Each structure stands twice: as structure tokens, then as C-alpha cells.
Amino acid sequence: MTSHQSLKKVQTFIDFITFKDPNVIYVVIGMVCITASSALIGTFAYLRKRALIGDAIAHSLLPGICLGFIAAGEKNMFYLFFGAFLTGWFSTFLVDFIVNKSKVKQDAAIGIVLSTFFAFGIVLLTYIQNGNYSDQGGLNQFLFGQAAAINRDELILFEVILAIIAFSIFIFYRAFILVSFNADYAKSIGLPVKFIEFLITSLTVLSVAAGIQALGVVLMSALIVTPAAAARFWSHNLPRILLIAVAISVFSGLVGAYVSYVNVATPTGPWVVLVLSFITLISFLGSAQNGILASYLKSRANKRKILHENILKTIYHYHENQQHIDQLDLTVTASQLLEIRLVDTDQLQKGLERLIQMDLLTPLNSGYQLTTKGRVESRRIVRLHRLWEQYLLKRTSIDALHVHSGAEAIEHILSPELEQELERELGIKGIPKEDF
């Protein structure tokens, strides 16, 4: 890339964020409204386990858009939007109708309705493209979305929709939570559960319909489900989940809008969804509470702890063999340790080095010696192991042969409180002599 090209890119970026092009304002504010609306109401769809319904709605909007176009005879935003809302809403009604009146389960019902409406939409779209409509160019954008097409009139519509959704959630917050968490209970205290469900569904259809031009029917459903799913990794608190979902959604929307602003022919939807999915992946891996990374780190820490404690225990055994347990000050080499306990040599070497760093061992000649801290720690481990062995023998009907292996893992997790309890129960002070 030449410096001239990269300068031009920087200039484009600055143009974008400073709204030099007035259309950019419409696109940015429009995207904020669309993505915030869908994240807010989508969180409740997600909590109600109705995530897939967003997909049914989105695909079902296409025939509505086409019918709106045919009715208006031109690309009149309000006709299109009204048609979309009607067929989108009708699709959710149909899904519920099929589930209630037949043995077909919800996932299958959604599949049936979604594909039927979408097929009908494509048929209508082809009909329009082959017909005598002058203004039909751009109707294709409804498939994958084009944020750059947002104009001033639409912007007002999107702002109104966001206001309606935010206001409804604020007003009906308690009702929405109750119906999402425990609809039977909500009904038992006399809430109009059917009406509240209808409201949530209608708001979902509204938000999907709002996003359809910018993101496209195929991908709009991602904006309903994914922000809430990603936000759930970061918090257990519903107001916070709503905020995080909105933040994730808005950020993804703006990145998508920027990319399609820079490259005019690029559809917006795929970019928004890719960014959104990437954030979800990061949440999945990185979140402190539920993330893969957190559980990996924890399991690695556990493995290390077990290795360290086993090395210290082995050093104690070495002293026991030399009848030197009162002092615990002999120098022991790695190969002497391996004679007592067979461990992977790589692991052993790393473990020994970390024990030196932790000030539990000191290197001496070509071997290792326990530090004062190391002596305390190795006595503690051996003691816990043997206390647990004694406990198993006394309290369970375990065979003496299996006692050692039964105690092998437990010594690493016994807390000082449990140690005291064991001591009281068994009446043993110091380290039991018996080793199994």
C-alpha cells in the first residue's frame, strides 16, 4: 500500500466520524437506532427461549415488503414497512397456531413457516423485477442489507421505533421479566400474560422490520439473538445485560455501516454479523465467569498445584527412606525423585524450577534442598494425605489396598478448616506414620 492510499483511507475514516457527508449522519444514527432496538427487545426473546422466532420473522418480512411495493407501485418506505410488519407478525401467529393445534414442535413449525414465507417473497421479488415497475432497483438490497441507503424519512421511523421499544421496556419491565421467567406465575397473580406476550412479539417484529433495509432479511435475526447471548457471558444482572447487549450491537452496526460506506458495493448485513459473531466468540472464550479461557486457566492452575505438591511429597518420602524426616534438609536430585515417583521428566523439571521461584526449594550442587517454607509445605501435604487415608479406613468400608489411590487426589483440595475437622474426628496430631 502506498502512503497516498493509506492517507486516503485515514481521510475517509475522518470524513465518516466527523459526518462530513450529511448522509453519514443518517446512516450512523439510523444504525444506532436499529441495532439498539433489536438488542433491547431481542434480550427478552432470548430469555424467553424464543430466539429462533426472530429468524422466522425476518424471512417472513420479504413477501410483506414486496406486497407493500406492489400496493404502492413504487418504493414507498411506509408501504414497505407496513407490509413487512404485517407478514412478520402473521408468521409468528402462524408458528404459534401450528404448535398449539398440531403435534408439530416449535422448531419444526418455525422451519416450515420461515421457508414458506421466504419462498413466497422470492417469487414476488422475481415478479416485480420482471414487471413494469420503474423504481424497483434496490429492492434486492432487502436480501443482505445496505445501510448507506438510509435516508431522512426512514431515520425518523427508526427513531420512533427505538423510542417505542425503550419506552415499553421501561414501562412493562416487571411484566416482561415475569413473563420471561415464569409465565405460569405471572398468570397466577392475574397479569394479562397473553397481552404481554403479544406485546413482546409485536415489538420484536417492529425491530426486525426496522432493520430489514440496513441488514437484510437473511441476517437480521442475528441482531435479535446474538447481542443478548454475548452479553449473558459478561453479567448475571438483567439491566446490565441489556446495556452490554446494546453496546455490542451498536458497535457491530457502526463497523458494518462504515465498511459498506467505504466500499459502496458491499452489503452491510454480513459485516455487522461477522463483527457481532467475533465479539460473541471473544465473550465465549474470555469472560471471567463462564469463559473457556477462565476454565482453562483454572484447570492449568490446578494441574500445577497438584504437580508441585506431589514433588514436595516425594521429597518428604525420600527423607523418610533415609530416616531423616526430623530435619528434612538432605539434598535430593531429580533422578532420586524419579526413583520414588515416576513423573514426566519435562514436567518434573518445570515443576522444580517453579518451586525454586516460589521459594520452596533452593538449588544446591546438582540437586535441590527444601527451604524452611518448603519443609512446612511438604509436611502439610503428607499429613493431609495420611489423615484422609485414616479417615477413609475408619469411616468407609474401603480396602486397605485402595486407600492410597483414594486419598491421592483429595490431599490437594482439603482446606485448613477440613484439616482441623479431620484432626478432631480422628484424634491424630502430627503426621501419621502409616503410608499405604
Partner 1 sequence: MKDNCVIEVHNLTTAYGGAPVLWDVDFELPGGQIIGVIGPNGSGKTTLLKTIMGLLEPSSGYVKILDKDLDKVREKIAYVPQRESVDWDFPASVFDVVMMGRYRSKNLFKRSNKTDVAIVNESIEKVGLTEFKSRQISQLSGGQQQRVFIARALAQKADIYLMDEPFVGVDAATENSILKLLKEMKETGKTVLIIHHDLQTVSDYFDYLVLLNTRLIAKGTPQEVLTEENLTNAYGGQLTLLAKVANLIKVNQFPIREKDVDL
Query: What's at 231, amino acid-wise?
Result: A
User: Position 175: which residue type?
Assistant: A
- Residue 1 or 189 with smaller CB distance to partner 1: 189
Of 143, 123, 186, 150, the closest CA to residue 26 belongs to 150
Q: Which residues of 56-82 are buried (b: 16+ CB within 10 A; e: fewer)?
A: bbbbbbbbbbbbbbeebeebeeebbbb
Cβ proximity to partner 1: between 235 and 371 the closer is 235
> Residue 298 or 402: which CB sits closer to partner 1?
298
Location of C-alpha cell 417473497: 121
Closest contact distance (angstroms) between CB of 229 and partner 1 is 12
Q: How far is the CB of 74 from partner 1 (least distance, A)?
A: 42
Nearest CB to partner 1, comparing residues 180 and 390: 180
Contacts of 388 (CB under 8 A, 6+ apart): 406, 407, 410, 411, 414, 422
Q: Which is nearer to partner 1, 193 or 223 (CB)?
A: 193
Residue closer to partner 1 by CB (options 89, 172) is 172
Closest approach of partner 1 to the CB of residue 192, in Å = 8
Question: By CB neighbour count within 10 A (0-12 exposed, 13-18 middle, 19+ buried), where does 354 fall?
Answer: middle
Q: How far is the CB of 289 from partner 1 (least distance, A)?
A: 10
Residue with cell 489423615: 387
In the complex, the smallest distance separating the C-beta of residue 173 from partner 1, rounded to whole angstroms, is: 9
State the minimum distance, in angstroms, from the CB of residue 222 to partner 1: 21
Alpha helices in 189-333 (DSSP H): 193-215, 220-232, 238-262, 268-286, 292-321
The smaller minimum CB distance to partner 1, of residues 197 and 309, is found at 197
Min dist. Cβ of residue 56 to partner 1 (A): 21
CA atoms within 13 A on the CB side of 364: 11
Beta carbon of residue 219, minimum distance to partner 1 (angstroms, whole number): 26
Instruction: Between 180 and 213, name the residue whose CB sits nearer to partner 1.
Output: 180
Query: C-alpha cell of 203?
Result: 415489538
8 Å CB contact between 257 and 147: yes
Nearest CA to 141 among 39, 33, 270? 270
Q: Confirm if 223 and 277 have CB atoms less than 8 A apart.
A: no
Q: At 370, which helix (H) or strand (E)?
A: strand 367-370
* 175 vs 219, beta carbon nearer partner 1: 175
In the complex, what is the shortest distance from the CB of residue 206 to partner 1, in angstroms, rounded to a whole number? 21
DSSP tag of 332: B
Query: CB of 368 within 8 A of CB of 361?
Result: yes
Q: Which residues sit at the interface with partner 1, rule CB under 8 A? A: 47, 49, 171-172, 174-175, 177-178, 180-182, 184-185, 187-192, 232, 235-238, 241
Residue 362 pairs in a beta bridge with 369
* Dist CA 413 CA 335 (whole Å): 28
Q: Cell numbers for 274, please give them.
A: 461477522
Could you tell me the smallest distance in angstroms from the CB atom of residue 143 to partner 1?
35
Q: Would you say 188 or 295 has its CB closer to partner 1?
A: 188
